[in-house]
Structures are given as structure tokens and as C-alpha cells.
Amino acid sequence: MAGTAAPRARTRRSGLDPARADEYRGWLRQMVLIRRFEEKAGEAYSLGKIGGFCHLYIGQEAVAVGSLAVLRSDDYITCSYREHGHALARGIPARAVMAELFGKAPGCSGGKGGSMHLIDASLGFLGGHGIVGAHIPLTTGMAFAAKYRNTDQVAVCYFGEAAVNNGAFHEALNMAALWKLPAIYICENNRYGMGTALERASAIYDISERACSYDMANEVVDGQDVLVMHAAMERAVERARKQKHPTLLEVRTYRFMGHSMSDPIHGHYRTREEVEDQRKRDPIAVWSQRLIEDGLTDQPAVKALDKEIVEEVEDAYRFAEEAPDPEPGELYTHVYANP
Amino acid sequence: MAIVTYRDALNQALREEMQRDPDVFLMGEEVGVYQGAYKVSRGLLEEFGPMRVVDTPITELGFAGVGVGAAMVGLRPVVEFMTWNFALLAIDQLVNSAAKIRYMSGGQVGVPAVFRGPGGAALQLGAQHSQAFESYYAHIPGLKVVMPATPADAKGLLKSAIRDDDPVVFIEGEMLYNLKGDVPDGDHVIPLGVADVKRPGRDVTIVCHSKTVSVALKAAEQLAEEEVDAEVLDLRTIRPMDTQAVLSAVGRTHRCVVAEEGWPFAGVGAQVVDVIQREVFDELDAPVLRVTGADVPMPYNKHLEKAAKVDPARVVAAVHAVLYRD
Ligand SMILES: Cc1ncc(C[n+]2csc(CCOP(=O)(O)OP(=O)(O)O)c2C)c(N)n1
Ligand SMILES: [Mg+2]
């Protein structure tokens, strides 16, 4: 059935390049960091230390890690509210991300953004947006700015599969194709928008086909395999940077947790069996297995890495807990540049 | 000084700002080849080319978002809405993106964009094409709202709006484009947030903006014939509002009427009345009265439409009431 996450047949089985071992191990490190970070965030949420909505990225780690690894430091990135993983993969320190989830002053948005609005302008990480689909035109605008200034930057937008039914998606992709902008639209098809399966919301099930309406390059990507994700992103970035053509990547992935912290793992809209079946293709297990098979790491090293990361996340947690709240006067700052 | 129309004053401001700063560009429906639905952008495509005068598809939500995104990374877009009626499709981008990104990012990312186009009551265009939306945007912290009433103000305020680092909602008077007036030569810039006394007077202050400024001036002429000396105070910027100017006017005249084209409920005038009663209650010799558009969708029929709009007679009647004259 179309819309099913992770078409297994697409996983490529060529040998890994030993010269890239450090890079490969770096991806594993980032994915484990996101996983452990999200687990800790879930725990902190349950303890009431994180408020509001909190959408975890567990299960989708390979998408952010494999794609962001291809970008340059001056490229632009926007995300939906499910963006903790992208923020970490882009290099916002775990302390600054956790502190933002806690609403604390040293958070990457000064504690005024929260889980859904992680921003670090110095990294080109421009949010963290809470209105489904609304950041897609923003990204088109950033790609427009790159073209306007004649730079070779690219602008990358991450959004869920439910956003493609929204007018902003259509308007933004049409303009990007019309004006030949260096934009990459990454649809993380995790099969559900909250409790609504793709098939209950979209008239067509292959989201990549939407690109045909705009004569836009497109690909279906196995989002549980970080190497496949990385390779597809390399093609898209090359197309954007060199040929100034946008791309729509439909990345098939799966969210292992509920939509947000208030949603149970499977709920009424999917079965426990389905979730368990999908968990068999855990992107971290897939990748560490692969590295071990190819002799680029081993079980003890993976264990040691995990231990090191757990400590890094604990440190971020302690930092966030001890960090000060924003000063009361911060309530009225940053509304205007010139009030 | 030269006599120019409101339309051409706006055109001058756009041209001069685009000449001054290569980061300024204009985008919207029909702004280029067609020269603007209201011809405000006449000649700009020829002078600046298609990268800086960008014709868009009919996608208000989409191109408003493109403008916000471009502004987030440092360009200075001027986004034209053919009219503010159609900008309702884009209001999410103004309210949830443009107005909030500076705050949500803890001050890291701003949106130096101008959203402009005609608004207010038009002539027999019916309910969907004849309405005033300034109170919608003025409600939003993070947005500035500017509404010039004269050619000189149109030019000077648009230049300031383009240079401002915050998102500015710039609502032009649809019925004002042909209005002629003196516009100072040279780099004529008027700061945002400063009201202007369009006619001094001792007996009553009429607070107004955009189209109602000319309505108030006509009313003041009629009142002069009966020896009532009315002051006309043009807000020019709705947000930030020049409350000091309002309060000192009331301190001088002790009576006030607020005129606006919009609907009465939660309108701009409600905000003016609030600040007056809070700050200078003891100065008032009469309750402040409001003259607004009728609280109905705009009718098409000529006579009904006239009855729905603010006109000098209704302003005169309100002034009579605050003066306790019959
Ligand atoms: C315009 C809008 N409508 C509704 C919502 C509420 N909402 C938040 S997330 C969501 C589902 C989105 O699903 P998808 O785009 O697939 O992303 P995912 O959560 O799966 O990452 C909905 C309906 C919203 N935030 N914005
Ligand atoms: Mg989804």
C-alpha cells in the first residue's frame, strides 16, 4: 500500500566506504544523541518540567541526521514543531535545546520560544513553526533571497505529510518551481497527522507525485536508512546549489511515539502490532548493525558511545534545571526592533 | 514642493527607496508588467527589472510568506496586496509569522517587511471589496499599522516603513489615490508613530485617519460657518499610536469625536476612547463620541452605501452632540 513507511526493497546494500568511517560514526552519534535527548525530554515532560506541547522525534532520527549532514553552515533551515532532532543535528548544543524546552534564559530562543520554536540564527536554523504548512512559503522566501543575492545557499524545509494537503504547500512549491529557486522540501511521511492516516486525508498516496504538478524534481526516500537519506539529499542539494532547481523529497519514516506527549503510543488510530512491526526498522539499530557488519565499529564501541551520550544528555538536563528563568522584564523585550 | 497625487507620491517613495537600497524589492499580483492594479508601481519593472519587481501568482498566503522568509534573512520586501480584502488569505503569515518571529526567537530574527495596498470603503464595490481592516492588524503586538491621508504623508511614511526593522502594515486609502497635494522635494521622510494636526482648532478635536481625515476637514469647514472651531488630528500611524498627541489635544479642546471607516465593535476609536478616559478623564467636558461605518456588511445599493459610510454630516452631528448643541 502506498504511504507505507520504509519500503524495504529500496535499502541499498553496497559496501560502505571505509574512508568515510568517521563521518558514518558521526551520524550514529547524532542519531543516538537525538534518541537519548528525546527520551529525557519525555521524562522531563512527565515530571512537569517541560510545559505545553512536546512532539518527540523518536523513530525519525535518520531523516534529520542524514539530510542535514549534507548542508553548508550558511544554508537556511526551517522545520515544523517536531524539530528537536533537527536542532541537535544542526549543532545547537543539547544544553541550549533542553534549556529552551524548560523555558529557561539560556535556551536557544531565550526561553521565549519553547519546544515548537527552537531558533538559532547563527546556524541558519530559522524555526520551529507551529502552524501546519505555514513555514513552507517562508522557506521559499529564503531561497528567493539566495537567488536575489546571487549566492549559492540553499533553503531546506521539513514538514509532515499532513501539511501537503494545505494551501501554503501548494502555493510555495509552485512559486519555487516557477522561479527556479534553490529550495528543498522534505516531507517526513510518518503516515499520520495526529490520528489521521495519510489515506484518510490525501486523495493520492504517493506524496512525491505532488511535485509533478509543478514539474519539480522528486524522489521517494527510505527515511529509516541514514545512508539512503544522505545520498538522496546530496542529489537534491547538488540540484539546488548548481542548477537552481527545487526538489520535493518524500521521506518514508515512522514515529514510534504518540503525536505529542499527551497522545498514547498507538491510540485508536493505529494498532500496537503496526507500531511493533515498524520498530523492527529502528533507524539507529539499522545503522549500527550496518557499521558493525562492515567492520567500522563494534558492539563495545556502540555501548561506550551510548554511555557517553547519556552523560551528555544528563548534563543538558542538569544545566536546564539549574538555569535561570528569563528576567521578568523580558516579557516586553523583542516585540519590536524599534517600539 | 510639487503637486502630486497620492498614487504618484507612493510611486516616488518606492522608486527612491529601491534606488537607495538594493535589498528593497516589490512583490505582488500585477505589480510588474501590468504596472500595478492601481498603478502605484508604474515604471518600476522597467527601471529595476523582474528580480526586484516580482509578479506573483494569485497566492496571497504564499507570497506573503515568501516576503516574510526573505525578510527573515535580511532582504527588505515590499509586499503589495491588490487590496487588503484579499490579504485575509494571508493573515496567518502576518499574525503568526511576521509579528511573532522576533519574540519567539528571543530577538534573533526580525522581519523588516512592508505589506501594503489599498483598504477602506470604496465605491459600490459591495460587501467583499469595501471594508476597513486596520483594527485587525493593530490588535497584534509585533505589527505596526500605518495609514496615510495625504500625498506628502503617503510618501514620507512609506519611506519610513521601508526603512523600519519591524513588519509594517501599510494601508492606503483606496479612494485617495487621485488626491493631489504638495509633497516636499528631496528625501521626504516622516517618522512612524507621530500624529499630525491637519487643522488647528479650539472647541473640539476630531481624531481621524486615512479617508476620514478629508471627511473631518469638510466637517470642520461646515462647523466654522457656525463659529465652531474644530481641530482635526490625523493619527497617521494606528500602532504605535501617538497617544500623547491625542491626550494633549483633549487637554486643549476638552471635547472629542473619533471618526473611522471601520466597524464600531472593537474598532480603532475604542482604543482612542479608552486612553482618553483613563488618562485625561478630568479634562473632558463631554463623553467622547465615535463616528464609524455602519455595523453591517457594505451594501451595494448607492443610497444604502451612502448611509453606511462616514460622512461630514455625521461628524458634524457628533460634534454638535459633544458641544451639547441641540
Ligand atoms: C494550520 C494548523 N491546523 C491544525 C494544527 C494542529 N496540528 C498540529 S500537528 C497536526 C498534525 C500534523 O501532522 P504532520 O504534518 O503529518 O506532521 P507530524 O506531526 O506527523 O510530524 C495538527 C493537525 C496546526 N498546528 N496548524
Ligand atoms: Mg505525519
Domain assignment of residue B146, given as a range: 2-183
User: Is A90 part of any domain?
Assistant: yes
Find the A132 Cα to ligand 1 centroid distance in Å: 5
Please state the rounded mean pLDDT for residues A68-96.
98
User: Is B191 part of any domain?
Assistant: no
CB contact under 8 A, B166 and A142: no
- The C-alpha atoms of residue A262 and residue B315 are separated, in whole angstroms, by 55
User: Is A130 an interface residue toward B (CB < 8 Å)?
Assistant: yes
- pLDDT at position A11 is 47
With a cut of 90, say whether residue B167 has pLDDT above it.
Answer: yes
Is residue B153 located within the same domain as residue B245?
no
Domain holding B141: CATH number?
Answer: 3.40.50.970
User: Is B188 part of any domain?
Assistant: no
> Grid coordinates in use for B312?
461630514
Please state the rounded mean pLDDT for residues A162-175.
97
Is the CB of A100 inside a 6 Å radius of any atom of ligand 1?
no
Backbone angles phi, psi at A245, to 5 degrees: -120, 135
Find out whether B268 and B101 touch, Cβ atoms under 8 Å: no
Please state the rounded mean pLDDT for residues B297-303.
93
User: Is A333 part of any domain?
Assistant: no
The ligand that comes nearest to the alpha carbon of residue A165 is 1
User: Is B39 part of any domain?
Assistant: yes
- pLDDT at position A4 is 44
Is the CB of A5 inside a 6 Å radius of any atom of ligand 1?
no
Q: Residue A1 — pLDDT band, cuts 50, 70, 90?
A: very low
User: Is B246 part of any domain?
Assistant: yes
ipTM over 0.85: yes
With a cut of 60, say whether residue B148 has pLDDT above it.
Answer: yes
Find out whether B79 and B113 touch, Cβ atoms under 8 Å: yes
The DSSP secondary structure of A60-106, one letter per residue, reads -HHHHHHHHTT--TT-EEEE-S--HHHHHHHT--HHHHHHHHTT-TT
Is residue B163 located within the same domain as residue B212?
no
Of B25, B63, B97, nearest to A134 by CB-CB distance is B97
Find the A194 Cα to ligand 1 centroid distance in Å: 7
Is the CB of A83 inside a 6 Å radius of any atom of ligand 1?
no
In this structure, which amino acid lies at residue A122?
S
Backbone angles phi, psi at B237, to 5 degrees: -110, 125
Last-in-domain residue among B138, B153, B183: B183
User: Is A281 part of any domain?
Assistant: yes
Is residue B83 located within the same domain as residue B145?
yes
Mapped onto helix, strand or coil, the DSSP state of residue A19 is helix
User: Is B307 part of any domain?
Assistant: yes
The secondary element (H helix, E strand) that includes residue B103 is helix B101-104
Is the CB of A84 inside a 6 Å radius of any atom of ligand 1?
no
Structural domain count of chain A: 1
Domain holding A56: CATH number?
Answer: 3.40.50.970
Specify burial of residue B286 (Cβ count, 10 A radius: 0-12, 13-18, 19+): middle
With a cut of 90, say whether residue A5 has pLDDT above it.
Answer: no
User: Is B11 part of any domain?
Assistant: yes
Q: How many Cα atoms sit within 13 Å of B316 on the Cβ side?
A: 16
Of A128, A149, A335, nearest to B142 by CB-CB distance is A335
Is residue B307 located within the same domain as residue B159?
no
Which tens digits make up the pLDDT trace of B168-225? 999 999 999 999 999 999 999 999 999 999 999 999 999 999 999 999 999 999 999 9
Last-in-domain residue among B183, B213, B232: B183
With a cut of 70, say whether residue A262 has pLDDT above it.
Answer: yes
**pTM higher than 0.80 for the full model?**
yes
Is residue B146 located within the same domain as residue B244?
no
The DSSP secondary structure of A158-169, one letter per residue, reads EEEGGGGGSHHH
β-bridge partners, B172: B118
Which tens digits make up the pLDDT trace of B28-44? 999 999 999 999 999 99
User: Is B71 an interface residue toward A (CB < 8 Å)?
Assistant: yes
The secondary element (H helix, E strand) that includes residue B189 is none
Domain holding B278: CATH number?
Answer: 3.40.50.920
Find out whether B181 and B153 touch, Cβ atoms under 8 Å: no
Helix extents (H) in B226-311 = 243-253, 268-279, 302-308
Per DSSP (E only), the strands in A134-181 are: 155-160
- The C-alpha atoms of residue B237 and residue B194 are separated, in whole angstroms, by 7
User: Is A2 part of any domain?
Assistant: no
- pLDDT at position A13 is 57
User: Is A335 part of any domain?
Assistant: no
Mapped onto helix, strand or coil, the DSSP state of residue B111 is coil
Please state the rounded mean pLDDT for residues B95-120.
98
Which tens digits make up the pLDDT trace of A320-331? 999 999 999 999
In Å, how far from its chain's centre is CA A96? 17
Backbone angles phi, psi at B232, to 5 degrees: -115, 115
Q: B1, B10, B4: which is closest to B174 by C-alpha?
A: B10
Find out whether B288 and B257 touch, Cβ atoms under 8 Å: yes
Of B57, B59, B107, nearest to A333 by CB-CB distance is B107
User: Is A92 part of any domain?
Assistant: yes
Lowest mean pLDDT among A56-60, A227-231, A265-269, B61-65: A265-269
Q: Which of B17, B60, B231, B305 is catalytic?
A: B60
Domain assignment of residue A228, given as a range: 21-321
- The average confidence (pLDDT) of chain B is 97
- The C-alpha atoms of residue B87 and residue B64 are separated, in whole angstroms, by 9
- pLDDT at position A7 is 47
Residue with grid cell 541514514, as numbered in its chain: A226
Is residue B211 located within the same domain as residue B245?
yes
Is the CB of A331 inside a 6 Å radius of any atom of ligand 1?
no
Chain A residue with CA closest to B56: the answer is A175
B320 a catalytic residue: no
- The C-alpha atoms of residue A210 and residue A253 are separated, in whole angstroms, by 18
Is residue B130 located within the same domain as residue B241?
no
Q: What percent of chain B has pLDDT over 70?
A: 100
- The C-alpha atoms of residue B235 and residue B269 are separated, in whole angstroms, by 11
- pLDDT at position A267 is 85
Backbone angles phi, psi at B207, to 5 degrees: -90, 130
B129 a catalytic residue: yes
Is residue B210 located within the same domain as residue B271?
yes
- The average confidence (pLDDT) of chain A is 95
Structural domain count of chain B: 2
Is residue B317 located within the same domain as residue B215?
yes
With a cut of 80, say whether residue A247 has pLDDT above it.
Answer: yes
Is residue B39 located within the same domain as residue B117?
yes
Contacts of B53 (CB under 8 A, 6+ apart): B25, B26, B27, B31, B32, B41, B44, B45
CB contact under 8 A, A141 and B61: no
User: Is A334 part of any domain?
Assistant: no
Find out whether B243 and B274 touch, Cβ atoms under 8 Å: no
